[in-house]
Amino acid sequence: MYTITYNGKELEVMTEGSLFSPKEADKGTLAMLKHVSFEAENKVLDLGCGTGIVSLIAAASGVDPKNIVLTDVDPLAVSTAEKNMKRNGFEGAVFVVGDALTNVPGSGFDLILSNPPYHTDFKVAKTFIEKGFNRLSIGGKMFMVTKRKDWYKNKLISIFGGVKIYEEDGYFIFESQKRSDKYASGGKKSRR
């Protein structure tokens, strides 16, 4: 277990040795979160939630936990994230075990935040970006953090039509906003 402090609130994070960043909050995730502005009414998807740090910060920022969906392919990650939300007094979030967005209920998300597994091929990230776009509301934003730049930049531009990139501590933070229901390149219609 470790703690992180956000908005003056100390958050306790339980973890397991087999989960991503088991000893401390991942620096890339924390760098990404510096660029996100949460609003109380936001509907948030924590995509590849791990221990749930993104959702803990969203809830500590005033987002109603009932508007937060956490998903991960690893059942241990999802159960750990659920314990962390409850341990910190955030009740009502939706927890989903599934590959990418497969089992995620609903759409109309204002924010989708992800630290995708970028040490593998780009198949997972491709799915996160394409399927994530389809689940965002118009005006909704996707944030991602990786250590790789070019592929993510090109993919986000091809789907969203643009991307803002921030560089911090060796990480690239990507911010893209959905402005239409069609992919920017090729005009593909959004499919859920």
pLDDT tens for each residue of 11-58:
999 888 778 787 788 899 999 999 999 999 999 999 999 999 999 999
Compute how many other C-beta atoms are within 10 angstroms of the C-beta atom of residue 66: 12
Q: Is the distance from CB of 164 to CB of 156 less than 8 angstroms?
A: no
Q: What 3 state SS string does 46-113 have?
A: EECCCCCHHHHHHHHCCCCHHHEEEEECCHHHHHHHHHHHHHCCCCCCEEEECCCCCCCCCCCEEEEE
Give CA–CA dist 38/25, Å, rounded: 19
Q: What is the pLDDT of residue 120?
A: 66
Read off the pTM.
Answer: 0.93
Q: Is the pLDDT assigned to residue 187 strictly greater than 70?
A: no
- How would you list the strands of the sheet with 171-177, edge to edge? 94-97, 68-72, 44-47, 109-114, 136-146, 171-177, 164-168
Domains of the chain, residue spans: 2-177
Q: Which residues pair with 69 in a beta bridge?
A: 45, 94
Cα separation of 7 and 60, whole Å? 7
Distance CA 161, CA 157 (A): 4
Phi, psi angles (nearest 5°) of residue 175 = -130, 120
pLDDT score recorded for residue 186? 58
- For the domain made up of 2-177, the CATH class stated in words is alpha beta
State the chain's mean pLDDT as an integer: 92
Other C-beta atoms within 10 Å of 89: how many?
Answer: 11
pLDDT tens digits, one per residue of 68-122: 999 999 999 999 999 999 999 999 999 999 999 999 999 999 999 999 876 667 8
